Amino acid sequence: MDHVGLFTADREKYRALAGAWVTPESLRCVQCGVCAFNCPMGIDVRRHVWRGEPVTESACLTCGECVQRCPRGLLRFEPFAPARREGRGG
Binding site for ligand SF4 (CB under 6 A): 22, 24, 29-35, 39-41, 43, 45-46, 49, 55, 60-66, 70, 72, 74-75
Rounded least distance, CB 70 to ligand SF4, Å = 3
Strand partners, 21: 78
Kindly tell me which of 9 and 49 has the beta carbon lying closer to ligand SF4. 49
C-alpha distances out from residue 16 to 20, 24, 31, 76, Å? 5, 14, 24, 9
Cα 81 from Cα 6, distance rounded (Å): 27
Rounded least distance, CB 5 to ligand SF4, Å = 15
Rounded least distance, CB 83 to ligand SF4, Å = 21
Query: How would you classify residue 31: left for phi > 0, otherwise alpha for psi between -120 and 50, otherwise beta?
Result: left
